[in-house]
Structure 1
Amino acid sequence: MPDVDLKPGSPEWLRTVTASKIPVILGVSRYKSQYTLWHEMAGLLEPEPISQQTQELFDYGHAAEVAAAEFWKWRNPGWRLSQREVQYSRDDLPFPNAATLDRRASRGRSRKAVEVKTAESLEEWGDDGSGEMPADYAAQVIWQQYLSGFTDPADLVLWPTFGRPRIYTVEFSEVRAEAIVAKASAWTASLAAGTPPPLDTTISCYETVRRLHPDIERDREVEISPDLAARYLTANADRKVIDVEERGTKTEVLSEMGQAQYATCQGYRIADRRNAKGGTVALYANTKTDFLEGIPA
C-alpha cells in the first residue's frame, strides 16, 4: 500500500475517507453527526475552526504519543517503532482513502499498527489487554489495518488522564473491513448524487443546521406540518418539566451524599461528585448502570 502525505484540514484531506471519518460514516461517532460530515465533504460547509481549547487537546495528544510509544516499546522488547505518524492508501478502492498510523511497529518481516488515544474516563474501556473499547476507536483501527495491510493484531495504547497507560489488542476482521468499505462506498456515492443523510438528534447536527442557515429573511413565513409543530411544542414543554425534576432530584442526591464521592444503591453505583470550577463540586449520573433494569415497570 503506497505511502501518502495528506495534511489534515487541506482540501484533499477533506474529500478523502480517512480513519477519523470512518466512525462518522458508520454512525458510531461520539463527536460528529453524519449530517455534519456529509456537508463538510460536499464542500457546503466549512469545518469548524479549531478553538484554543481543542488545539491544546491535540497538543496534549501528540505529547502523549511520544510517551505512549516509549511505554509500548518497554512492553514489547525486540520491536521497533517509527519515529512519527505514517499514512497509507489503497489504489484499488473506488474513492479517495487514507489512514494515518500513530506508529508503525516492525520486527523482522512482521508489521503492525500502534494507535494512541487519551481519555478522561475509563467507563467505556475493558481491562488492560482486552479488545473492549469505544466502537469509534475500534472502527478506526480496523480501517488502519485494512489500508496498511498490517492485519496482525494491532495495539491501542490508552493514555488516561488518571492512572497508568493500558494496551488494548484489536483483532483484524476481514468481514468488518469489507462492511466498512461498503459503507464508505455508499457514502461517497451519496456525495456524488447530492443526497445527504437524514437529520438526527445530535448537537453536531443541530449546530450544522444553524450554520447552514445563518441569515434571517424578515417577515418570511414557512408552513411546517402539524405533526412537526406538535412534536416541537410538546418536547419544549416536556423539557422544562424534566429540567425542574432533574434539578430537584440532583439536589436531593447531593444532600444525601454530603462529602462522599459516590452514591450507591443496592450495590449499584448511581452517581459521583467531582471537582468543578470555582472550588465547587458537580454531580454526574452513572449512565452505564443496570440499576433501572431491576426496577419493576
Structure 2
Amino acid sequence: MTTVETPTGVLLGSYTPGTPEWEQARGGLCITATEIAAVVGLSPWQSRFSLWHKKAGLPTPPFEPSPAMEWGNRLEEAVAQKWLDGHDGYGIEAAGTWRHADRDWQRATPDRLAYTSRGKVVELLEVKTSPFGDDWGPSGSDEIPVYYRCQVQWQLDTLGLQVCHVAVLIGGWDYREYVIEYDPSDAKILRDAAERFLDDVRQGNRPDIDGADATYQTIRVQPAGREDRDVEIPFGLVIRWDDAYAAHQQAATELTKVRGEVLDWIGDGYRAVCEGRRIAYRTVNPDGTTLALQPYRSTS
C-alpha cells in the first residue's frame, strides 16, 4: 500500500466491510459519507428517522444486501480498472476508513485513492453501478445523483481533497466518468446539518415520521412483544388512514387499468414509446407470452 497523506484526513485503518472492526470505525456518534445524504433527507435508502434510531442505539431493521449491491461489489474492481486504463500516470488503491483531523465524528471510506505516479497529487475515485442512467448526466460532466454528490462532498471535506472522479457502469454496458470538485459552501451546509443531527440524537429529539419505507421498517422493529390491549388513536389520524387507503385502492385500480391498456397497445412489441420517450417495456416467458410490464424511470 502506497503511503499517502491528505491535508485533513487521519487514516483509521483498512477494514473488511461487515466485520466488527469495520462497524466500530463507522459506529457511535459519527456521520459517514454514506449517511450524510440521509441527514439532509436525500437518501433513497435511509431516512433521517431510521438513521436517528441507529445512532441512538435503538432497534433498526437488519441489513440485507440486495442483488444489485452484490453485483455492485463484484464489479467494483472491474470498473475501477476501466477508469485506470484511461488515465495514464495514475495509480489507485483501496482508501481505508478516515476521520477528519479536527472532527472525530466526521468519517469517510472512499472507494479508492487516486494518485500520480510520483504520489504527489491525491484525488478520490468513487466506483458505482446503476441499472438506469436517468439520474446520470453525460460522461465528462459533473451531473451525478444528488445523494452521491453529498457522499462525494463529505469524503472530500473529510480528507481535505479537491477532486473526486466518479466511474459508473450503467445497465451492465454503459460506462461513464464524472469529475466532482470540492464545494466549500456545500460542505459547510452538510457539516452544519450533521452537527444539528448529532445534537438531536444526544438530546433525544426524534425526527418526525415521514413517508420513507426505511422509516416504516424502523417503526416495525421497535415493539418487543404484544400486549392484549386497545390503544386509542386520534380521530384526525383515523381520517387520514381512511383517506389514504381509499386513495390507494383507487390508484391501484387505475394503475391496473392503464397497465392493461399499455400492454394491449404493445401487443407482441418490446417497448411503449411516446414522442421519443420510453414509457415501458415487456419481458416475456419462453413461449412468448408476457412475463411482466416494466416502467422506465422518469426524471420528470
Q: Fold conserved (TM > 0.5)?
A: yes
**Structure with the largest fraction of helix:** 1
1:173 to 178, 183, 206: 183
Match in the other structure for 1:20 = 34
1:245 paired with 2:258, answer: no
Q: Distance in 1 between matches of 2:11 and 2:195?
A: 21
Stretches of structure 1 that go unaligned for 5 or more consecutive residues are 291-297
1:233 to 236, 242, 245: 242
| Residue aligned with 1:81, SS | strand
| Residue aligned with 2:294, SS | strand
Change (3 A) 1:35 1:221: same
1:131-210 aligned at under 5 Å gives the runs 131-151=142-162, 153-210=163-220
Cα-Cα RMSD: 2.3
Q: Is the 8 A contact 1:104 1:113 kept in 2?
A: yes
| Residue aligned with 1:122, SS | coil
1:76 paired with 2:87, answer: yes
Match in the other structure for 1:295 = none
1:223 paired with 2:232, answer: yes
1:66-145 aligned at under 5 Å gives the runs 66-82=77-93, 84-93=94-103, 96-107=105-116, 108=118, 109-145=120-156
Match in the other structure for 1:38 = 52
Q: Cα deviations across residues 228-273 of structure 1 (Å, max 9, x unaligned)?
A: 1101011112211221121011011101111222222344433233
TM-score by length of 2: 0.86
Q: Cα deviations across residues 156-208 of structure 1 (Å, max 9, x unaligned)?
A: 11022332321111121000001100011001101100111110111111111
Q: Distance in 2 between matches of 1:34 and 1:284?
A: 30
Change (3 A) 1:191 1:164: same
Q: Is the 8 A contact 2:60 2:221 kept in 1?
A: no
| Residue aligned with 2:13, SS | coil
User: AA paired with 1:26?
Assistant: V
- Tell me the CA shift for residue 276 of structure 1: 7.9
Q: Is the 8 A contact 1:4 1:89 kept in 2?
A: yes
Percent of residue pairs bearing the same amino acid type: 28
Number of corresponding residues: 283
Q: Distance in 2 between matches of 1:276 and 1:46?
A: 39
Match in the other structure for 2:76 = 65
Q: Distance in 1 between matches of 2:122 and 2:25?
A: 28
User: AA paired with 2:41?
Assistant: G
Q: Is the 8 A contact 1:79 1:105 kept in 2?
A: yes
- Tell me the CA shift for residue 58 of structure 1: 4.2
- Tell me the CA shift for residue 64 of structure 1: 1.8
Q: Distance in 1 between matches of 2:284 and 2:138?
A: 26
Q: Distance in 1 between matches of 2:298 and 2:60?
A: 35
TM-score by length of 1: 0.87
Q: Is the 8 A contact 1:269 1:289 kept in 2?
A: no
User: AA paired with 1:182?
Assistant: D
Q: Is the 8 A contact 1:102 1:115 kept in 2?
A: yes
Match in the other structure for 1:293 = none
Q: Is the 8 A contact 1:6 1:12 kept in 2?
A: no
| Residue aligned with 1:92, SS | coil
Q: Distance in 2 between matches of 1:247 and 1:132?
A: 35
